Amino acid sequence: MSPSTDERVTKLSVFEKAALQSGENTWQTRPVERLGVRSLFLSDGPHGIRKQAGTGDHLGLNASLPSTCFPTAATIANSWDVGLAHQVGKALGEEASALGVDVILGPGLNIKRSPLGGRSFEYFSEDPYLSGKLAAQYVMGIQGEGVAACPKHYAANSQETNRMTNNSVVDMQTLREVYLTGFEIVVREAKPLMFMTSYNLINGTYTNQNALLVKDILRDEWGFDGAVVTDWGGGDQAPWAAEVGGGFEMPSPGFGSVPTLVQAVRQGSLSERALDERVSELFSVIDRIPKPEASGHFDVEAHNELAREAAAQSVVLLRNEKSILPLRSGTKVALVGDFAETPRYQGAGSSLVNPTRLVSAVTAVAETDLEMVGYARGFTRDGKPSQELVDEALKLTGTADVTLLYMGLDELSETEGADRSCMNVPDNQVRLLEALADAGRRVVVVFSAGSATTMPWLDRCEALVHGYLSGQAGAPAMFDVLTGAVNPSGRLAETYPLALEDTSTAGNFPALGKNAEYREGPYVGYRYTESINAPVLFPFGFGLGYASFSYSDAEVGERGISVTVTNVGDRDGTETVQVYVGRDQHERTGIIRPARTLAGFLKVTLKAGESARVSVAFDEYTFRHFCVNAGKWQVEAGLFEVFVGPNVRDARSVGICSVGEGTNTGEGVSVVDNALFERMSVVQPDPNSLLGLENYASGDVKKVDRDEWMRLLDNPSALMPTPEGPLTIESSLSDMARADSSLARFVWRRMEGMLRKSEAKGVPDLNLLFLSSMPFRSIFKMSGGMANEAMVESILLIVNGHFFRGTGQLIGRFFKNNRAQKRMRQEFANLAGNQSQTNH
C-alpha cells in the first residue's frame, strides 16, 4: 500500500527520481530544493542517538555527539514493561529532535535464534510477541516526538558471520510465525514511517528486493506505507528493489545506481509508476515529520534519571541464597572485578553511543549507605590469568561482610560483525570466584552481558544479579536493587540453557558457508526447551524478587484469562504475570506447534499481603498458525490449554478453551470468541499433513534429517550453491583468502593480521570487521561515488589474477567514473535547484 503519487513527483525527471533512490552521503537523503523537499538526517541507533559530529564515516571513527546511553534492547526486554519502553522511545525522540536527527535507525528486533548471535545485545528477545510489543512502544514513543522510527533488520538476520552475503534458508511457517510476527506487530500497532531491510538473503533473494517480504507482506498485507531503506551498503540490484517496494539505498553509492535505474525505466524492466511510488513514499515521510528543532538541548538530568530507572526495572535477580540480598545499611562491602571500575554497559558496533555521563560502581557505591572497604581489580578483561590480582582480591575481601564481584562478558565477546564462539564466561573470572568462595567469602555476583551465558559456577556465589548491558546509569541502578531501594522485577526475555549443546541450533550456528539452514524450524529458545522438556539453567521469563507471589482462582474466559495474584512476601514487589497457550495434548492436530507460546503478559505491583485480580486478553496472535499450503493465517479448531505463571516452565495449566464452532466442549471448557479470528479462517485438523514431519511435530528437532527438513522447507531452490572458482561481485572480501592473485591473498592476510591485532587490544575494530564480511559489490555501494560497478569488476580482474589488464582498466574507469559522477552531481543539483551542498 503506497501513498498516492504526489503532485511534486510529477514534476521530477526520471533522472531526478532515480537519484532520489539513494542517499547524499553516509547519513542524509538528497533534497530537492526547488520543490521545497528537504534532506532527512538518519542516525543510529536503538538505545541512544549516535549523531556523528564531523564527517560521517558509518561505523564511527569520528566521535558522535553526547546523548543518553539507555540500556540496550536486550536489557529493557527483561523489564517486560511496555510503558517503560514507550518512555525510553519518547526520550530518544526528544534527543533526536534536539540533535537535528529526523530518523532513528531502530529499534532492532531480530529474533535471538542462538545465544551465540553477536548482536543479541541489541535485540529484545527470542520471542516475537514480546519483541513486537516492546518495539511497537519504542516506535510510538519516538514518533510521538515528531521523529521517524526505522525498525530493523527485516528479517531473519540471525547471524553476524558473513552477514552481508549469507542466505537464511527458512521454511515459510517458521519465517512467518517466528521471524516476521514481531515486525508485523510493530507495523500494525505503531505505524513506523521507515523500515530497514537486512543484509542477508532469504531463500535465495536479498531482502531489499524480495517481493514476498517487501511488497506482498510488509506493504500489501500489513499496510506499511512509509519508505524502505537498505541496511548500510546492503543494496544489490536497485531497479529490481525499486520495483518491489524497497530500494532506497544508504549510505551513498554516489550517483552509481542512477544510470542503471534510468536505463531500467527506458527498457521497461522497472515501471516508472513504481519509481514514482518510491519517491512519494520518501516525500511522505518528510511531510509527516516536522523539521527537527536541532536546539542541541535536551534534559540531560531527567534522561539520565530515566536511564537509571529503566536499568533498575530491568535487573534480573537469578539467585539469592539465604536472602543475602537486599544488603542491610552499613554492610561492609568489597568491590571486586574490572567491570566495577570500567563498566560494561553497551555493545560495540553501529549502536555505540557517546554517553552524557558514566558512573562506575566504584563511584556509585559512595551514594549508598553501604560501607565500602575497597576495590580490587581481580582480573583483566582479556581473560589472562593473574594470581597476583586474585591474591589482592583475597586480601581485600577478608575485611568485608559481602564481596560484590562484578563479572561478565567483555567488549570483544559481544559486537556487531562477529558471533560469539562459546557461551562461557572467561576462565580467569571463574577462577577468581572459586578462589573467593574457597576462602569462605560471601559473594554476590553482579553480572553484565547482553546475551545468555552458561554458569556452571553458579552455586559458588550466594547471589547473582544480572544487569545485562544497563546503559550509562547502570551502576547506581544496580545499587538501587542491591540495597532494596528497588525490588528486582526483571524477568529473562531469553532462555538460559545449561550448555550450548542444549540449544536447538547447536552445531548449526553460525553457518560458515553460503546457506544458514534454519533446520530447527519454529523451535527457537523456549519453544524448543518446553516442547521436549530439556533441562535449562533458567527458563524464559524467569526472575526472582524480594517479594513472592501466589496465583489463585484462575479463570479462562472467551476473551482471555483472569487470575488472582497475591504478594505473599513481607515486602512490596512487582510480578510479571505470563500467559502461554499450547494445543491440548490429547487433541488431534495437523500443524507443527511448540508446546507453549507466549500469549500475553502483565506487570502488577502489590504491597506486602495485597492481592489483585489480573486479566490478560487473548488477541489475534494467540491461537493462529501460518498455513503454507493456503498461504494464510488460520486457526485450527479444537482445544487449547492455557497456562499462567511466573515463567514459561512454572506456568501452570489453568484451563482448556475451545476454538471454532462445533468443537466438542466438555464441562469447564470455555469457547473462545470468534471475533478474534476475523482476519483468518478456522480449519479442521488434518493429521495427515504431519506425515513425514514427525520430529517437527514433537519438537525433537535435533533428530531432523535432511529429508525431513526438505519436506518442511518445500522449496529446494531456497538453497544456494557454495561459491567456488573466480571471485565475483558477490564474494566477500574475506574470500580473497582463496583468490588466484597472490597480491589479493596478501591484502587479505594483512587485513586478518590487523583484525587479530585489534582483538589482542581487547577493542573490536568495527571497520575491519565490517570490511571482512563485505561483498565486493558494497565497495561501489558505499563509496559515495568514488567507485562504480565497472570499477569493482576491474578490481575483481586483479583479484582473480589478471593484474595488468585489471589495473589498466581500473585506471581508465576511475577517471571515467570521476567525470560521470561530477556531471551527474551537477546535473542533479541544477535540476533540483539545490543551492546548499550537504556536507556530512
CB of 194 to ligand BGC, least distance (A): 11
Alpha helices in 494-544 (DSSP H): 526-532
Integer angstrom CA distances of residue 440 from 116, 435, 443, 462:
34, 9, 9, 11
Whether the bond between 107 and the residue before it is cis, its omega within 30 degrees of 0, is yes
Nearer to ligand BGC, 17 or 152 (CB): 152
Q: Could you tell me which residues come within 8 angstroms of residue 321 by beta carbon, excluding any fewer than 6 positions away?
A: 462, 463
Contact assessment for residue 389 and residue 738, using Cβ atoms and an 8 Å cutoff:
no
Nearest CA-CA partner of 200 in 189, 191, 209, 212:
209
CB of 662 to ligand BGC, least distance (A): 49
Nearer to ligand BGC, 80 or 780 (CB): 780
DSSP state of 205: E
Q: Is 231 a catalytic residue?
A: yes
Please say whether the dihedral angle defined by the alpha carbons of residues 594, 599, 603 and 606, taken in this order, is positive or negative: negative
Residue nearest to ligand BGC (CB): 350
Question: How many angstroms separate the CA atoms of 205 and 719, rounded?
Answer: 10
Integer angstrom CA distances of residue 617 from 137, 253, 555, 743:
18, 48, 12, 63
Out of 81, 171, 231, 765, pick the active-site residue. 231
DSSP state of 737: G
CB of 128 to ligand BGC, least distance (A): 19
CB of 350 to ligand BGC, least distance (A): 3
Please say whether the dihedral angle defined by the alpha carbons of residues 691, 697, 698 and 701, taken in this order, is positive or negative: positive
Question: How many angstroms separate the CA atoms of 426 and 478, rounded?
Answer: 22
Question: How many angstroms separate the CA atoms of 524 and 182, rounded?
Answer: 14
Contacts 24+ apart (CB under 8 A), 743-748: 743/798, 743/803, 744/798, 744/799
CB of 201 to ligand BGC, least distance (A): 15
Nearest CA-CA partner of 797 in 787, 788, 805:
805
CB of 114 to ligand BGC, least distance (A): 18
- Local structure of 75: helix, strand or coil: helix
Count of alpha carbons within 13 angstroms of residue 62, beta-carbon side: 11
CB of 349 to ligand BGC, least distance (A): 7
Nearer to ligand BGC, 232 or 549 (CB): 232
The one-letter amino acid code at 21 reads Q
Angle between helices 803-832 and 789-799 (to 10 degrees): 170
Strands of 355-458, DSSP E: 371-376, 402-408, 443-448
CB of 155 to ligand BGC, least distance (A): 13
Q: Could you tell me which residues come within 8 angstroms of residue 391 by beta carbon, excluding any fewer than 6 positions away?
A: none
Contact residues toward ligand BGC (CB under 6 A) are: 44-45, 58, 105, 152, 231-232, 350
Q: Tell the residue number behind the cell numbers 471475533, with chain if given.
A: 675
* Residue 475: its H or E element: helix 474-482
Nearer to ligand BGC, 58 or 420 (CB): 58
Active site residues: 231
